[in-house]
Structure 1
Amino acid sequence: MAADTLLTFPCDFPIKVVGRGDADFDALVIAIAQRHAPDLDLTRVLGRNSRHGNWRAVTLVVRATSQAQLDALYGELSAHERVTMAL
């Protein structure tokens, strides 16, 4: 069996999402993440503004069960107009 990923599932996987510093950016990121990881632990979500408040970074840790799950989550995050980048 060939491995398509170096990850061993299930695993805790951190994701950082950056976008404009709008008030509801955290809620947007959480809503998208919960569609792909319904068991998202909200205590493992951290939002932080840039120094001047123009940008917002949200770091969350999802319990990843497969590469397909992560690909779908990254795809939806990256496609959203309010998300500048997802790492």
Structure 2
Amino acid sequence: MEATSRCIKNEMGRYQSSPWLTFGARKVLAIQAINNTITLLSTKRVEDNKWAFIEQRSDLIPRGWEDRIYWTKVVELLMKLSSPILRHK
């Protein structure tokens, strides 16, 4: 979470002439992996010194052959991550 908020702060420093609405609408996405859980997080600036850290999706990574059907949830998580990138292009 700290890294994503620093990313936005860095961009705010680089583009100081940009209006507040530009950075209010900006989100930074991150993937966090702990053990066999993968989580998609988003960070955005709400007010001057307030931040919103939102868990978009979280799924278990299947480890065994019998759990292979759960890979669809992991792929859905990755597609959710790629959709803003594709929209931006």
Tell me if TM exceeds 0.5. Answer: no
User: Which of the pair has the greater relative contact order for Cα pairs under 8 Å at 6+ separation?
Assistant: 1
Give the structure with the larger helix fraction: 2
Q: What TM-score comes out, normalization by structure 1 length?
A: 0.30
Compare CA radii of gyration and give the structure with the larger one: 2
